[in-house]
Structure 1
Amino acid sequence: MAVFAAVLAAHLPLLRLPYYWDEAGYYIPAAYDFFRTGSLIPYSTLSNAHPPLPSIYLALWWKLLAFAPWVTRLAMCVLSSLALLAVYQLAIATTQKPRVAIATAVLTAIYPVWFAQSSLAHADMFAAAATLWAIVFFLEERLCLTALCFSLAALSKETAIVTPIALAVWQAWLAFAPRRWKPASEVFRHSRLAKAGTLLLPVLPLACWYIYHWHRTGFVFGNPEYLRYNATATLTPLRVLLAFAHRVMHIAVHMNMFVPVLSMLACMMLPPVDGRKRISINNQLLFYVIILANLLFFSVLGGALLTRYLLPLYPLVLLVCVNTFYRRLRQWHWLIALSAVAFVAGLFVNPPYRFAPEDNLAYRDVILLHEAAIRQIEAHYPDATVLSAWPATDELSKPELGYVKASMQIASIDNFSLLQIEKAAQLSDPYTVGLIFSTKYDPPHLPFNLGRRNETLDARFFDFHRDLPPEIIAHLLGGKVVWRAARQGQWAAVLHFDHPQLAMQTQDGLLPLHYNQP
């Protein structure tokens, strides 16, 4: 209850925000479908074959309290609190030091990626909480609870199955690995193989879910476009290598994580303080197996390089860092304070490179911009057909997401790149208003910009594109900007079109050169 009270107090200003991005695009519609009809397969959005446990959990909260964003965010704060309690228990199990456990849990709670996800209704916090408790129970040799928690993780998000499979392979390898002095005893070998078998049990409920999904939809792993984007289109060797480099940066550098990581590396050059023990080699190897398996897995699969996929890994990294501070430095509290300051700063100050707004409080800026733009449209053009891109198209057409009182007519494009604006010029839908917004954090003059070559690779493998400014979009489509606002490098604008153009000319010099595409 103490952990929950602290988490809730920290997130109070965020509880009434309407739904954001993937919340609006999948998780809330899927849960809302289950809430209304009991259907485990969503029908108001395309089924991605995600397991149904998050929908069931959220629907239960809505049934008990109300269908409202604050209830959803309250439910997610409960999950975050349970996960943080698991972080504390994990630190106790591996270090036996309450001070180290408290410091690790606090740093995890305020790490920007974790903090942002603690009130967002994504499946990753479900999977992280269950995975962390499974690791705790595994270290305590409580194998039935380990299998149960890993099963809950897999039924929350299918990709969570990588951790028990990796641990099963590790246990099997330990059973047969050659020993330096003598071969492993039969008792030891059987014990490891029993653990490996138990760790593989969560595959069964996940397989049952996929069989059910196939029976109901005809697709095992979701609709073909989703499968192509997240699996078959990601298997290029160069793409995997680039994705792995991104993943290493996410786990060791992103959102000021470099502060505790570099501090840990510096501390390792100091001699240990007498009487202070390290995390055992066996437990450290367990952590490294989990981290490496997830980094590799999410470098091969997953079209978007979202950091929330790595959510269970951040506490493991922080635990190793904090215990190293404690073991190597008498004044270790100063490094905890330095890391805490860096993390709190990361919540409010955007990094000098492109990132997903959901990695810190930048997502709040996106929501506030969209709310303000939609209020302008409702006030001045309530009956208009609105040209926009996802997720604003859902925000305008689905009142349950919290942006509009009644559904509005929309004309949809994918984004606001030149190619899509050309498509908008040819649309048959008679739109008269446009809701234009930045689809990513991409302000000009970023210090860490790797240049055109890197942008070409990002466009090829990671759907990178440049959004045209509202003024240029208005010019190309024969309209004018009637409202615009910006917050922390992100923007939104409302455009009005008297007579949308049916064709565009880009060779008149009004487009800056860097917007031209081959």
Structure 2
Amino acid sequence: MRTPEKFSGARPGNSAPGDIPLWMLFPLFFAAVYLSHLTLLRLPYFWDEGGYYIPAAWDFFRTGSLIPQTTVTNAHPPLPSILLAAWWHLSGFVVSGTRTLVCIVSASALLGVYKLTRTLAGATAAAVVTVLTAIYPIWFAQSTLAHADIFAAAFTLWGLAFYFDRDDSDQSTTKNQILASVMFALSVLSKETAIITPAALALWEAILFLQSRAANKRQSLGWLAALLFPIAPLVAWYAYHYHRTGFIFGNPEFLRYNATANLSAYRIALCLWHRFLHLTTHMNMFVPVVATVAVFLIPLASPTAPQAIRKPAIKAIAVILLANWIAFSILGGALLTRYLLPMYPLVLLICVSIWRRHLRQWWLIAALSAAAFLSGIWINPPYAFAPEDNLTYRDMIVLHQQAVHFIEHNYPQATVLTAWPATSELSRPEIGYTHHSIKTVAIPNFSIDEMQKAAADPGAYDTAFIFSTKWEPPPGTINLSKPNESEDAKFFDFHHDMHPAAAAALLHGEVVWQAHRKGEWAAVLRFPRIVDASLRLPR
């Protein structure tokens, strides 16, 4: 049997002279996040914010019920709703208040990234990894969006920061075990899939326990208990949810879409490929990853090259990445990249550590990666992607604001044919798009099949609000996702949205408003219906 090595050598994360205390860094981190997102703080709620998380928190804020009343319950744990409602008591129920809270959460997560990296690779690497994480397009976009993923990412990263902060002191180890278990418990109460990381580490600790000497088994058992503890609050939440609703994992349609319908071997294989690309290439992540592969082949810069991350830590990080890669290739109906939010700092941590050890001018690669990430915030890649992966989501929000305002001003009594999330934007004033509820008729999307079904029942609506549901490269330009469209349509709900003129022709209406913004588009259609009206005397 062998004795497990420590994750860090000279404990650069805690006792290195000249290190700035973490509590002094948080105001700086928050100011940087807040000011860099200043123009986004008053945007109305977007996508899953308006579809679930804000309505669920709004219900808790008004009624105190952990089970949503005005939106479908899908068994997501309630901590984001509790935190949002508590914050609204301070800020008021205003969108800028919500986004300020998310900035605080994002800054806290970045502080966890800094602590984690400083422990494993030193303060210089920590500064670089933290900056690269903050400006990575997916992280940057999610830093003001009130999705559960940013809450779960913050607690997960702090749990990892305490997990990797180890020394030979029993008192310090016990403290970090307690703190790590609390952070991971809060992460799973933010989003259920956050259990993947502590569960994977628990399995890893069990393997280390079997390999360790008797003198270290007590510490290994302590970590094993700390990592398994988050299962308890998650089970308690599901028991409560079942008691209140009769469903453990949410309504049957939610469970089917996110789990039971995803178990074919071919679909899982496709998801593994997509998730691998998400972790290594998406939104210009290929720049640091490819550079790392190239740099790794270069001999060490000098005998005094910076200490690499120790092998036990590398192995633990690899276990975390592997577990999340596989799990999110099975779970989830939509391949949203925000599910992998806490994984991106770990990828960057490995990259920066290798650069510093193998190349004297490693800062040039860091600068190149930073430039690639900054450009990715505004410049879209040559393939289809979800608008929430960079500032394309802002373009979509602005277009929807304009369209809903046009409908509210010109057709306040309209019945509007549209798809989610516009159904929530029109019917829920608290989402921030309209001042009063507007009736809607919902369709799944704006594909030709769904629009033909809508055309078969023209009397159900008198107006339509259609829009691009994803960003796609313009016709005639490079489109790397085009070869996969048939498989994506079969397994991931991919479709082409009908454009306004074609939709108007099919539905026998006219386009009364339309606008485009950097590849995103939206339009309002109006249908002059002939109504057979008659008067009846009251009985």
What range describes the TM-score normalised by the shorter chain of this pair? Answer: over 0.9
Matched, 1:206 2:199: no
* Residue deviations 1:315-362 (CA, integer Å, cap 9, x gap): 011111112122222222111111110000000000000111100000
Matched, 1:82 2:113: no
Question: TM-score normalized by structure 1?
Answer: 0.93
How far apart are 1:428 and its partner, in Å? 6.7
Q: RMSD over aligned Cα, in angstroms? A: 1.4
Match of residue 427, structure 2, among 386, 397, 405: 397
Query: Which residue number in structure 1 is paired with residue 183 of structure 2?
Result: 149
Q: Which amino acid aligns with 2:156?
A: T
Percent sequence identity is: 54
Matched, 1:236 2:261: no
Matched, 1:124 2:149: yes
How far apart are 1:429 and its partner, in Å? 5.2
Query: Which residue number in structure 1 is paired with residue 479 of structure 2?
Result: 448
Instruction: Tell me: CA distance 1:197–1:429, structure 2 relative to 1, closer, same or farther (3 Å).
Output: farther
49-58 or 427-436, which deviates more: 427-436
Q: Which amino acid aligns with 1:448?
A: N
Q: Which amino acid aligns with 2:45?
A: Y
How far apart are 1:430 and its partner, in Å? 3.6
How far apart are 1:379 and its partner, in Å? 2.2
1:260-339 correspondence runs (5 A) = 260-273=288-301, 274-275=303-304, 276-339=306-369
Gaps of 5+ in 2: 1-26, 166-172, 532-539
CA distance in 2, matches of 1:77, 1:105: 15
Match of residue 204, structure 2, among 170, 179, 204: 170
Gaps of 5+ in 1: 178-183, 502-518
Q: Give secondary structure in 1 for the equivalent of 2:440.
A: strand
Equivalent pair of 1:278/1:323 in contact (CA under 8 Å): yes
CA distance in 1, matches of 2:423, 2:218: 56
Equivalent pair of 1:112/1:343 in contact (CA under 8 Å): yes
How far apart are 1:456 and its partner, in Å? 2.0
How far apart are 1:489 and its partner, in Å? 1.2
Query: Which residue number in structure 1 is paired with residue 248 of structure 2?
Result: 220
Equivalent pair of 1:477/1:500 in contact (CA under 8 Å): no
How far apart are 1:427 and its partner, in Å? 3.3
Matched, 1:250 2:250: no
CA distance in 1, matches of 2:363, 2:482: 40
Instruction: Tell me: CA distance 1:138–1:35, structure 2 relative to 1, closer, same or farther (3 Å).
Output: same
Q: Which amino acid aligns with 1:151?
A: A
Matched, 1:49 2:64: no
Equivalent pair of 1:29/1:45 in contact (CA under 8 Å): yes
Q: Which amino acid aligns with 2:479?
A: F
1:416-435 correspondence runs (5 A) = 416-427=446-457, 430-435=460-465
How far apart are 1:376 and its partner, in Å? 1.4
Q: Which amino acid aligns with 1:266?
A: A
Query: Which residue number in structure 1 is paired with residue 10 of structure 2?
Result: none
Q: Give secondary structure in 2 for the equivalent of 1:358.
A: helix
Question: TM-score normalized by structure 2?
Answer: 0.90
Query: Which residue number in structure 2 is paired with residue 136 of structure 1?
Result: 161
Q: Give secondary structure in 2 for the equivalent of 1:483.
A: strand
How far apart are 1:114 and its partner, in Å? 0.3
Q: Which amino acid aligns with 2:375?
A: A
Q: Give secondary structure in 1 for the equivalent of 2:96.
A: helix
Equivalent pair of 2:156/2:194 in contact (CA under 8 Å): yes
CA distance in 2, matches of 1:253, 1:442: 18
Equivalent pair of 2:57/2:80 in contact (CA under 8 Å): yes
Equivalent pair of 1:432/1:498 in contact (CA under 8 Å): yes
Aligned length: 493
Matched, 1:58 2:84: yes
Query: Which residue number in structure 2 is paired with residue 9 of structure 1?
Result: 35
How far apart are 1:192 and its partner, in Å? 2.1
How far apart are 1:308 and its partner, in Å? 0.3
Instruction: Tell me: CA distance 1:500–1:208, structure 2 relative to 1, closer, same or farther (3 Å).
Output: farther
Equivalent pair of 1:109/1:115 in contact (CA under 8 Å): yes
